[in-house]
Amino acid sequence: MSSVTKVLAGNKESGRGSLVGYYPAGYPTLKDSVESLVSMAENGCDVLEVGVPYSDPVMDGLIIQEATEQARAAGFVLDDLFEVIRQVRARVETPILVMSYWNPVQKYGLEKFATGLVDSGAQGMITPDLVPDEAADWIETSERLDLDRVFLVAPSSSDARVSKNSDVSRGFVYSVSTMGITGERATLDALAKDLTGRVKAFSKTPTCVGVGISTAEQVREVNSYSDGAIVGTAFIAAYRNEGLTGLTKKCRELASGLG
Amino acid sequence: MNSKLSAQQGPYFGDFGGRFVPEPLIAALDQLEQTYMEARGDSEFQSQLALLHKNYTGRPSIITEAKKFAAHFGDLRVFLKREDLNHTGSHKINNVMGQALLAKKMGKKRIIAETGAGQHGVASATAAAYFGLECVVYMGQVDTERQALNVARMKLLGAEVVPVTTGSKTLKDAINEALRDWVANVESTHYLLGTVAGPHPFPTMVRDFHSIIGNEAKQQMLEITGSLPDAVAACVGGGSNAIGIFHAFLDEADVALWGFEAAGDGVNTPRHAATLSKGTPGVLHGARSYMLQDDNGQTMESHSISAGLDYPGVGPEHSWLKDLGRANYMGITDAEAMDSMKLLSQLEGIIPAIETAHALAGVKYLSETLRPGSTVLINLSGRGDKDMETAAHYFGLLDKK
Ligand SMILES: Cc1ncc(COP(=O)(O)O)c(C=O)c1O
């Protein structure tokens, strides 16, 4: 079984719930991003999502755009991604998923990229702009290399797509809470609960909810009807404002929303 | 299976095309595809669109023979398909009227568009005014400056123009912002994409709406010269005006097809937008196609004096035609384009858009490969009014204040 699924299931069973934390590799430097990810793992994140800085991140709001832009400007290359993962893996056992838009993966070479994930100690990949319809190669490769593959479902997805995207995902399926890009939202959309309800009705794959989550209350709420809350922008904003101390504080604060 | 090249439809053109978009957009693309496929076979929709083109766009557009311009290059005849005479000044309106009708059909109250040169933005703002739709146009900040006149036109037409300050601040980033808007507002909003790029069904649908250019021109050439042209040429940014004039000739094996892309400072310098000549296959803005990218799959910034060609991607059908060898693509430098802009202005009294001037500059190369006496049909995709600021600066036409 996927180690991500195992962690999510265990936390669900114990009544704790899960917090999945996103942070981009190379932000603001490679070394800093390692420290940030380790701190996130040590302060309440149950799964780490390592973002790949990319020139055209259409799912992302300004905060993530600016962070990944800064990483790119500092010279981030894909080989660095695997080095960051290797260093984080040397210090914590928390499962790691890479979050990458598709073009960097296909340009690097899917086989080489996937092998890089395995060798550096990552458990799989989330693909925000790769839908299962276009993912035959990735499905085959991840199956063969025993890697998780996380696809998205959205409030606009038909029942047939919710069912298919969930079933073909491994680790969990990513429920997009609202129709929109990443960024903090004051209130969580009622759409999120409805969507996870549909995932549960059609599939056995666990689901975590992401986009717009930034408070402990929201983390609690989301965990009441799903298998985990995914937080990105709020962590990056905290780092931007107060560095590693701010990030650590934010992790503890949001993890306090868990049972 | 129909083996005609012109019968090819998305999602895939060989290895290219598809839908590489976030899941939240899939439902909107499905709705658009379904609405479009119905409209395509619906004679009422087609006659509505034809009537709009007749009474509003000003179609059919005429063909002008450019005799002095042709003589400058030697023994050949050059014919210009005058899309510059369409309402709003370019070919862009052909696609915009079609998609605006579809937006109405889908009950969408708001359209959004990206624009580089501003021509697609102006056409979209125009259609929004005509159909009573709300309109937001995303435009890179660099482009709002070099195409300031078109920004004023869009605003006068009642559209909101949002300058995009992220990334390269040009067309590529305007498309990113439009996609982000669309993800958040897809219920109420149609994304009126302005070229043959993007996820399925855009490349097929936008091509179909522009194929009227080549369909008209084919008949017109037969009437004027009694035969098909030896070569058909157009500039290529995303590729819409080029595919629009190519499409009717795809299965005419004797007609050479030439696309001229922006080579900026030169294809062998780092500053160009020659996607098909210099790019590699990748995924950008929802489709697999040739693109300018580095070894890490990061999109590279393009450079061109022409805002409308300053784009590191290209429509998937062009990538397919290139790999098949059916169409040829070549880069034209800023300097060559500007020379041609001046040449056509002074020899024929027609000021072309700088985008279009890239196709005109291609005649020099065509004259070297075609037999003497050949005929060349060029898509005169737009007029140059919007470019007066750039041209005045480039040629030093204005007195210093
Ligand atoms: C007059 C004109 N021609 C050509 C283009 C390039 O677009 P495409 O390659 O889609 O025809 C533009 C784009 O702004 C334009 O305004």
Ordered by start, the domain boundaries in chain B are 22-54+91-202, 60-89+211-395
Note whether B325 and B271 are within 8 A (CB): no
Across the A:B interface, residue pairs with CB atoms under 8 Å apart total 112
Per-residue pLDDT averaged across B274-298, rounded?
A: 98
Sort out which chain A residues have CB atoms less than 8 A from B28's CB and list them. Answer: 156
**In sequence order, what are the residues at sequence separation of 6 or more whose Cβ sits closer than 8 angstroms to the Cβ of residue B209?**
B94, B95, B97, B98, B99
CB contact under 8 A, A181 and B282: no
ipTM summary value: 0.96
CB contact under 8 A, B282 and A153: no
Here the tokens at position A183 are: 């960024």
CA distances from B119 to A31, A139, B381 (A): 46, 42, 10
Q: Write the residue with the smallest CA distance to atom 13 of ligand 1.
A: B308
Angle, helix B26-40 to helix B202-225, in steps of 10 degrees: 30
What whole-number distance in Å separates Cα of residue B159 and Cα of residue A210? 33
| Cα dihedral: A64, B19, B188, B42 (round 10) | 170
Is pLDDT above 70 for B97? yes
Per-residue pLDDT in tens (0 to 9) along chain A, 259 residues? 899 999 999 999 999 999 999 999 999 999 999 999 999 999 999 999 999 999 999 999 999 999 999 999 999 999 999 999 999 999 999 999 999 999 999 999 999 999 999 999 999 999 999 999 999 999 999 999 999 999 999 999 999 999 999 999 999 999 999 888 888 777 777 899 999 999 999 999 999 999 999 999 999 999 999 999 999 999 999 999 999 999 999 999 999 999 8
CA distances from B318 to A28, B172, B243, B321 (A): 39, 18, 8, 5
Q: How far is the CA of B44 from the centre of ligand 1 (A)?
A: 29
Residues B355, B359, B364: CA angle, nearest 5 degrees: 135
Note whether B190 and B107 are within 8 A (CB): no
Note whether B217 and B81 are within 8 A (CB): yes
Is pLDDT above 60 for B401? no
Chain A residues within 8 angstroms (CB to CB) of chain B = 54-59, 61-62, 65, 69, 72, 77-78, 102-108, 128-131, 133-134, 151-158, 161, 165, 176, 179-181
Q: How far is the CA of A83 from the centre of ligand 1 (A)?
A: 43
The C-alpha of A44 sits at a distance from chain B's nearest C-alpha, in angstroms, of 28
Q: Would B22-54+91-202 and B60-89+211-395 be classified into the same CATH topology?
A: yes
The radius of gyration of chain B from alpha carbons, rounded to an integer in Å, stands at 19
* pLDDT confidence bin for B96, thresholds 50/70/90: very high
What whole-number distance in Å separates Cα of residue B297 and Cα of residue A16? 39
Q: Where are the alpha helices (DSSP H) in chain A?
A: 3-13, 30-42, 62-73, 78-91, 102-108, 110-120, 136-145, 159-168, 190-202, 216-225, 233-255
**pTM of this structure:** 0.97
Residue B178, helix vs strand vs coil: helix
Enumerate domains of chain A plus CATH numbers.
18-254 (3.20.20.70)
Ligand 1 contacts (CB < 6 A) are: B 90, 116-117, 119-120, 195, 235-242, 308-309, 353, 355-356, 381-382
Here the tokens at position A181 are: 């890009």
Q: How far is the CA of B399 from the centre of ligand 1 (A)?
A: 30
Note whether B32 and B311 are within 8 A (CB): no
- For residue range B145-200, what is the model confidence (pLDDT) as tens digits? 988 999 999 999 999 999 999 888 989 999 999 999 999 999 999 999 999 999 99
Is pLDDT above 80 for B75? yes
- Region of residue B118 (left: phi > 0; alpha: psi -120 to 50; beta: else): left
**In sequence order, what are the residues at sequence separation of 6 or more whose Cβ sits closer than 8 angstroms to the Cβ of residue B222?**
B228
The C-alpha of B255 sits at a distance from chain A's nearest C-alpha, in angstroms, of 35
> Nearest chain A Cα to B283, which residue?
A103
| B60-89+211-395 CATH | 3.40.50.1100
- For residue range A183-209, what is the model confidence (pLDDT) as tens digits? 877 777 789 999 999 999 999 999 999
Question: Does domain B22-54+91-202 match CATH 3.40.50.1100?
Answer: yes
Here the tokens at position A120 are: 């550096």
**In sequence order, what are the residues at sequence separation of 6 or more whose Cβ sits closer than 8 angstroms to the Cβ of residue A95?**
A3, A4, A7, A46, A47, A48, A123
Sort out which chain B residues have CB atoms less than 8 A from A56's CB and list them. Answer: 167, 172, 176, 284-285, 299
Q: Write the residue with the smallest CA distance to atom 10 of ligand 1.
A: B240
